[in-house]
Amino acid sequence: MFQTESVGGALGGNVLAIIWQLIARYRARMWLAILFGTLSALTTILPAVGAGFMVGALLDGDRVTAALWAGSMIVGAALMIVLFTISTSISHLIAADVQADQRQIIGDKLKRVPLGFFTRFSAMDLRRVLIDDVEKLEDGVAHLIPEITAAYVGPVALLVIMAAVDWRMALAALVPTVLGFIFMMIVMRDGVEVTNRYHKLQANIATTMGEVVKVIPVVKTYDNSGSALIRAHQAIADFQDLITDWIDRAVVPANWFFLFATSNLLVLTPLSIYLLDIDGTDLPTVTFFHLAAMSLALLIAGLFGISNRTRQQEGVIARWQSLMAYPEQEVATTGDGPDGSDIVFSNVSFRYDRALVLDDVSFDVKAGTSLALVGPSGSGKTTIGRLLARFWDVGDGKITIGGRDIRAIPPHRLAESLSFVFQDIFLFSRSVRDNILIGRPDATEEELLQAARAARVDEFVSRLPKGYDTVVDGSLSLSVGQKQRISIARALLRNAPILVLDEATAYNDPENERELQGAIAALTAGKTLIVIAHRLSTIRHCDNIIFLDSGRIREEGTHAQLLALDGGYAAQWRTHMAAREFSLRNRQAGGDAS
Ligand SMILES: Nc1ncnc2c1ncn2[C@@H]1O[C@H](COP(=O)(O)OP(=O)(O)OP(=O)(O)O)[C@@H](O)[C@H]1O
């Protein structure tokens, strides 16, 4: 998952500055939104002023003027709403533009990160940054930025006017609110931490629930909901535990603050009555101060809401920054493709995180020959295949294809030379035809059908309701073997000079396997081939076999040479043969019984 904490912690109050940078292209319009927002905040003084003059007119017995002032109060309130609406309309339009920009920026970033990035971050992580967070950014751009200036300017302007009229009553309106602020800052020191945890645990629940939905079939198969859902239960329990803490340390203090902020009348009213008596302060002024004090409290309370929402934006910005900081892969934009299909790994070392996964690996595969990579699980076989496709770049050493360092080959030229059949098959929610054509979009119908026949796709496609035009979606349940055959058809169609097969036939049923092996033989004929295999029977005829263990090449040679060596490969071969014999005997026993 993308980081939210460390970057978020470092962000602190910078989050608004970062949002300000994000809207760089729209600053002129944003200034306009800020201007209208600030004018709207300033108009909050109008009802108080109007009320003061209205009372003055009433005391003079001038009812017409009083009515006019009453009308001005309504106009003032309406003006406030109109100005605010203009401000927020402008800022929402900017927010929509910024959101579109952000999606573009993230999309561009995703084009520049190495392919391996997508094996490390789940679709859910990406969805969160690309969709949910971009949605949330709307509050930052459309509300926080224009409102923050108004939230500061409004109370200050109000206070200046109040102080100009009577500094004593201005102070009385201000003091409880300031006390509320100080109180809030002391109590909310803990509240910030607990609110951050609240947001984190909330995100954790979302992630775990997403996982739960994914594992439901497994859970049901094993009838093991107790243990499989433990993480989800734990996430919910953690959240429930925190809620009480959060209410005690963040919600209650926040309400105390509102109480303090709006309780300035408790000080102002006795003071104003006292002043009425002793020094000729008049009733209109007292009326003005009472309404102005309430406006002041509300404006300052608004500041509190802003600081809370700013904190929510921190997570959004932190995840975005974490994505943007992900190392990019340098790609050549010009240059030739590989000159031939010889593959050479020279002293290649590689680590995903800390541990070395490939350690000084060197080998070559001559054009048109085959290499099999074998070894225990986790020995680095798949990593070698992925490095060849530049899922990641090597740490040390280099990989060349046709004598050219793959880092110097433009990606489309590299892609033209390689075909992959991976363990994980991804099919798009499009027709079977489109899914095969991904291998070569400009292939003719005849070429497509030829590839489909060779990969034995046509057999099951003819039984589908719309044949090759049937859409591969949730309603169409293809077996793993069928999906695998589609992916082989793709590779056949691509007809690239180098082919990497990662356990390509591991999931196919025995009846299909022989035919599929035939198709693969057609696919691999004349190609430079790297097979990543567990079932050694499929690779015994390879020109060269490398036995890997813990990221190092331990043995290399033909099947016969490695057997003669009697090392790790021979041991794995013996295990394989024993397992095969066992399964054959079982099948025979099953056959006899029936
Ligand atoms: N995306 C990744 N991030 C971090 N570590 C990884 C990643 N992919 C693989 N590894 C680690 O690298 C090591 C080599 O993995 P690799 O998949 O290359 O082995 P393998 O020989 O193909 O294994 P298997 O036969 O089980 O597929 C393992 O320790 C694995 O946990």
pLDDT at 369 over 60: yes
As a whole number, mean pLDDT of residues 416-444 equals: 84
- Domain at 343-566, CATH class: alpha beta
Distance (Å) from CA 329 to ligand 1 centroid? 20
pLDDT at 224 over 60: no
pLDDT over 70, % of the chain = 86
As a whole number, mean pLDDT of residues 257-262 equals: 72
Per-residue pLDDT reduced to its tens digit, 101-128: 999 999 889 888 888 888 777 777 788 8
Distance (Å) from CA 469 to ligand 1 centroid? 37
Distance (Å) from CA 349 to ligand 1 centroid? 14
Domain span(s) for CATH 1.20.1560.10 in the chain: 6-324
Out of 3.30.1330.60, 1.20.1560.10, 3.50.30.20, 1.20.1250.20, select the CATH number for domain 6-324: 1.20.1560.10
Q: Identify the helix (H) or strand (E) that includes residue 216.
A: helix 167-222
User: What residues are in contact with ligand 1 under a 6 Å CB criterion?
Assistant: 119-120, 352-353, 357, 375, 377-383
- The protein residue whose alpha carbon is closest to atom 20 in ligand 1 is 378
pLDDT at 58 over 90: yes
- The protein residue whose alpha carbon is closest to atom 24 in ligand 1 is 377
Window from 203-207, 424-428, 490-494, 507-511 with minimum mean pLDDT: 507-511
pTM of the model: 0.69
Of ligand 1's listed atoms, the one at least distance from the Cα of 119 is 1
- The protein residue whose alpha carbon is closest to atom 5 in ligand 1 is 352
- The protein residue whose alpha carbon is closest to atom 6 in ligand 1 is 352
As a whole number, mean pLDDT of residues 59-75 equals: 92
Q: Which of 39, 69, 42, 67 is nearest to 53 (CA)?
A: 69
Domain span(s) for CATH 3.40.50.300 in the chain: 343-566
pLDDT at 160: 93
pLDDT at 305 over 60: yes
Cβ-based burial of 521 (10 A; exposed 0-12, middle 13-18, buried ≥19): exposed
List the beta strands (DSSP E) in 274-422. 343-351, 356-365, 370-374, 396-401, 404-405, 418-421
Rounded-to-integer distance, Cα 86 and Cα 80, Å: 10
Distance (Å) from CA 359 to ligand 1 centroid? 14
- The protein residue whose alpha carbon is closest to atom 29 in ligand 1 is 378
Could you give the angle at the alpha carbon of 205 between the alpha carbons of 201 and 207, nearest 5°? 110
ipTM over 0.95: yes
- The protein residue whose alpha carbon is closest to atom 9 in ligand 1 is 383
pLDDT over 90, % of the chain = 30
